[in-house]
Structure 1
Amino acid sequence: MDKQYTLKNTNYLKKISALVLATTMAAAGTIAILPGSTASVYAATTSQKVNKSVVNVQVEGKAVATQGMLSKAGKTLVPLKDAAKALGATVTYDAKTHNVIVTKGKQTSSYTIYSDAHTDNVFVTFNGGMLGESYDGQVVKGVSYVEAKALSEPFGYRTVWNKATNTVNFTTVGINNVTVTPTKLADPIQNKYTTVNVIYPVVSGLDNEAAQTAINKALKAHFDQYLAGMKKQVEEAGAPYSKDLSYEIDGGYRVTYNQNGVISFLLTDYQFLGGAHGDDLLTGMTFSLKDGKAIKLDDLLKSNASYRQDIKKLLQADIKKQSDTMGYSLEQFNELSKNSSSYLNNYYLNDSGFTVFFQKYDIAPGVSGSPEFNFTFGQLLKSGMNPLKDFK
């Protein structure tokens, strides 16, 4: 059976099987069906009904010819091919993997739209790695639409919403003047049954070279330590029990915030050493570009002496609310947070505030993945207070 696990409360499919997949490119006019699908051709018209709300799409204020739409969940969807080209990226279709590949400079993302009886989604992998993310997506009349942030996040753009004109604008205005380059880490595990594919970020372009060195040292050290630990585990495990089985070790990252002199990363370590499925570990790392120092939530929320208790109460309410739908356990959270607030080290910044995440099994069964909870600074700080102003 193909390996699969859950990331960010969505099915993370390293290899998509037992699903009908429709991946299209408007230019080719092709609907591709992956092995394992039904014999009949899956047409775009079998997707769930499209929300008729029209979304205008812009790149740096210039209109994209093809309009977008809102998904059933209210997410902004943009035409993948036309929007990517407007960003200055190249768009190709890989007939072998049934993926749409978008490339700009050294950044590459692979998009696969997959469907079941209830939903359409797009699975995106980054920079030649195996790790990725699921977003909303649809195929309508031969055109692939993806959630706006599935295109903005990998290529370093912000998306700004204009409610009055129903317009989403991809822009680099406000983005830090820094370059993040995906780099492959050398494979220290030399055997025939282990595949290693670890992609880590390298920051460049900062005026402060000492700060740049400190950030890069910390990022690389994380993955160096991860690979060293995995090398030891592979040696202890020995060869797989079956010649048809192989081990897999992956690492990847996303830039979740890159503004106001601050950059925030979500790092993912994934390993499969046999068994029913692999396991992943998430790590948030946030830095000041001014001096290269790591930023903790305490640095951002220190003006609120009770922020730990406030976040805990908000989490308890949200976990209880989602216990039936997502399988979250308030009892597990209360036990985890009983004598410690160290779980608040697991955070990253986003355009709206910050996200606190939990590792798989911390507060829910494994099928629930790594639960995430979003907060705005306005929920925890006095009105008008900007916790990032000192980092500009």
Structure 2
Amino acid sequence: MRIILLFTTAMMIIALPVQAQSVYSIQHKDQVREDYEIHIDFPNFDGLINKNLEQEVNKGIKKELEKMMSEVKRAGEESVGIPVLYYGESSVVEDKEFISVILTSNITKGDFYESSVRSINFENEEDGIFLKLEDVVHMDKLNKEVEKKLAKDPETFNLQAFQEVRKDTAYYIQDGKLTLVFDKYEIASGVYGTPEITVPYQHVKKDKPLHKKSIPVPKNV
């Protein structure tokens, strides 16, 4: 009986699913001064296949955050009696080898409040590269899909204000769908925050480049 019990226990351990190790960890940064406050959560990647790409990803994230922090500090110094508050949020969306880092900046100054979103998108492969929105979709097809979505919900979205999807619009891909994350006020009133529009990826998808090569972090990052 003891042998049977040990065998059964061993088989149960073997059958347990192995949890995939995360390729990143979340770090936190705070700076509190009289004229401004900064609170940021951001990912630091330490498990990507391509270590050179990993270094560039982390550098791109920190560069974006440093740019926003610099703007907040400058605004705080120019402010009189009203501190500037900056909350930086982040999320990581993984879809097989495709990874998107969504960075949301929330800035408050008295009654003024705005949010903007940027994304860093790349492939976690040995020859993985950064991929801007225009690298993965046909922009003309994407604009038509977005217009259809906006027109279906005129109470939420402002189709008249929509010109076209910015090439640096934040995005992520998951489960066969492409989601755009717009800045506050860009396509809807402020009560909707940073609205998202999701379209079937297959409808707008562009074929991947046949020959991959390392490319620098996009300038909008």
Paired residue secondary structure (1:323): coil
- Residue 183 of structure 1 is matched in structure 2 by 27
Q: Is structure 2 residue 106 aligned with structure 1 residue 281?
A: no
Alignment partner for residue 263 of structure 1, among 94, 99, 110?
A: 99
**Counterpart amino acid of 1:294?**
F
Structure 2 partner of 1:332: 161
- Counterpart-to-counterpart distance in 2, 1:265 and 1:233: 26
| 1:210-243: CA deviation from partner (whole Å, max 9, x where unpaired) | 1211110001111011101110011011322xxx
1:273 counterpart letter in structure 2: K
- 1:214 corresponds to which of 45, 49, 56: 56
Measured after TM superposition, the shift of residue 186 of structure 1 is 5.6
8 Å CA contact 1:210, 1:292 repeated in 2? no
CA distance in 2, matches of 1:172, 1:355: 30
1: CA distance, partners of 2:53 / 2:74: 32
- Per the TM alignment, residue 343 of structure 1 is displaced from its structure 2 partner at its CA by 4.6
- Are residues 292 and 235 of structure 1, via their aligned partners in 2, closer, same or farther at CA, if it must alter by over 3 Å? farther
CA distance in 1, matches of 2:168, 2:59: 23
Tell me which amino acid in the other structure corresponds to 1:271.
Answer: I
The match for 2:88 is 251
Q: Unaligned 5+ residue runs, structure 2? A: 1-14, 213-221
Q: What letter matches 1:352 in structure 2?
A: G
Report the Cα offset of residue 389 of structure 1. 10
Whether the 8 Å CA contact 2:102–2:170 is kept in 1: the answer is no
What is the alpha-carbon distance in structure 1 between the residues aligned to residue 160 and residue 105 of structure 2? 27
Counterpart in the other structure of 1:347:
171
Normalising by structure 2, we get a TM-score of 0.76
SS in 2 for 1:342: coil
Show the counterpart of 2:142: 311
CA shift in 2, pair 1:309/1:344, >3 Å: farther
Query: Matched residues in 2 for 1:263 and 1:280: separation?
Result: 22
Structure 2 residue identity aligned to 1:348: Y
- State how 1:149-164 maps to structure 2 within 5 Å: none
Q: Helix, strand or coil: the match of 1:298?
A: helix
Q: 1:279 to 1:237 in 2, by over 3 A?
A: same
> 5 Å matches for 1:128-147?
none
Structure 1 moving runs of 4+ over 4 Å: 387-391
- Greater share of residues in strand: 1
Q: Could you give the per-residue CA deviations for residues 263-296 of structure 1, whole angstroms, max 9, x where no partner exists?
A: 1111111111111x52211112112233563211
Q: CA deviation at 1:206?
A: 2.9
1:373 aligns with 197
Q: Which position in structure 2 is the counterpart of 1:18?
A: none
- 1:71-150 matched pairs, under 5 angstroms: none
1:237 aligns with 2:68: no
Alpha-carbon spacing, 1:263–1:219, altered in 2? closer, same or farther (3 Å)? same
Q: Contact 1:214/1:292 (CA < 8 Å) preserved in 2?
A: no
3-state SS of 2:77 partner: helix
C-alpha distance after superposition, 1:66-110 (max 9, x if no partner):
xxxxxxxxxxxxxxxxxxxxxxxxxxxxxxxxxxxxxxxxxxxxx
Q: RMSD value over aligned CA atoms?
A: 3.0
1:348–1:268: structure 2 CA closer, same or farther, 3 Å change rule? same
The answer to whether the Cα contact below 8 Å between 1:257 and 1:351 also exists between their aligned partners in 2 is no
**Identity over the aligned pairs, expressed in percent?**
21
Tell me if the contact between 1:360 and 1:370 (Cα under 8 Å) persists in the aligned partners: yes
Higher relative contact order (CA 8 A, sep 6+): 2
TM-score if structure 1 supplies the norm length? Answer: 0.45
User: Equivalent of 1:360, from 159, 163, 184?
Assistant: 184
Cα distance, 1:344 vs. partner?
5.8
Aligned amino acid, residue 232 of structure 1: R
Q: How many residues align?
A: 197
Deviation per CA, 1:166-186: give whole Å up to 9, x if none: xxxxx888x6x6521111236
CA distance in 2, matches of 1:172, 1:256: 20
Higher helix share: 2
